[in-house]
């Protein structure tokens, strides 16, 4: 990870575009990106760079400790996320280690978080596409959605909206995931892991 405070970070919320997917479990990365956009004083518009909606801003306390960030939501479908992310990386001259993917994770209990650098894709099509385009050495903020109940297929589960019981806590968990992204960027991986990995 770069120690250059002026080097930009690229934060990518993974999801599928379009209102029919907006509340799906698979779109929790978009939900976190929307909240981070609010926090830095912006909102995603239709305008696109490299096939993604983008906002530029700063994170962290004003002054030398603040970090330049580019928030993005790819406008491709989840399994094609790698192309837009690689395009943004090249456009903004971001090191791969300064990219953060925020995504849903089946193998973690609902609402639990894991912050990590590198690793496999664990069958996640968005990560698979990113890794194919750029290699695996980017950060991930993994948002637990749990496993499908009974015999429900994984594809059906991730493309369903959060349940009414889950929605009662969803705003809290999305807020916590946004906090974890900010901690990763302003305080570093180890501190973010200590504070948010559960």
Give the residue numbers annotated as catalytic, written as ranges.
26
The helices-and-strands tally (H runs, E runs) of the chain is 6, 7
Asked whether the beta carbons of 111 and 144 are under 8 A apart, the reply is yes
Strands 48-49 and 52-59 turn out to be antiparallel
How many angstroms separate the first and last alpha carbons of the chain?
23
**Residue 185: C-alpha distances to residues 19, 35, 59 (Å):** 30, 16, 8
Asked whether the beta carbons of 197 and 115 are under 8 A apart, the reply is yes
Q: Which residues contact 101 (CB under 8 A, 6 or more apart)?
A: 12, 14, 29, 85, 126, 127, 130, 138, 139, 140, 141
Residue with tokens 């930009």: 8
Sheet arrangement for strand 52-59: 48-49, 52-59, 67-74, 9-13, 99-105, 139-144, 113-117
Asked whether the beta carbons of 165 and 120 are under 8 A apart, the reply is no
């Amino acid at each position: 990870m770069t120690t250059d405070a002026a080097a930009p970070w690229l934060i990518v919320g993974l999801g599928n575009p379009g209102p029919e997917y907006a509340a799906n479990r698979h779109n929790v990365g978009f939900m976190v990106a929307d909240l981070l956009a609010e926090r830095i004083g912006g909102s995603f518009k239709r305008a696109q760079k490299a096939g993604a909606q983008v906002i530029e801003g700063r994170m962290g306390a004003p002054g030398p400790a603040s970090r330049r960030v580019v928030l993005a939501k790819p406008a491709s479908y989840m399994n094609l996320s790698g192309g837009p992310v690689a395009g943004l990386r090249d456009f903004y001259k971001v090191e791969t280690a300064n990219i953060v993917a925020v995504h849903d994770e089946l193998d973690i209990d609902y609402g639990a978080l894991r912050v990590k650098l590198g690793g496999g894709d664990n069958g996640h099509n968005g990560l698979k596409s990113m890794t194919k385009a750029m290699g695996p050495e980017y950060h991930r903020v993994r948002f637990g959605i749990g496993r499908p109940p009974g015999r429900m297929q994984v594809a059906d589960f991730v493309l369903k909206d959060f349940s009414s019981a889950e929605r009662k806590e969803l705003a809290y968990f999305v807020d916590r995931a946004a906090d974890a992204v900010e901690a990763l960027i302003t305080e570093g991986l180890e501190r973010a892991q200590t504070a948010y990995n559960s």
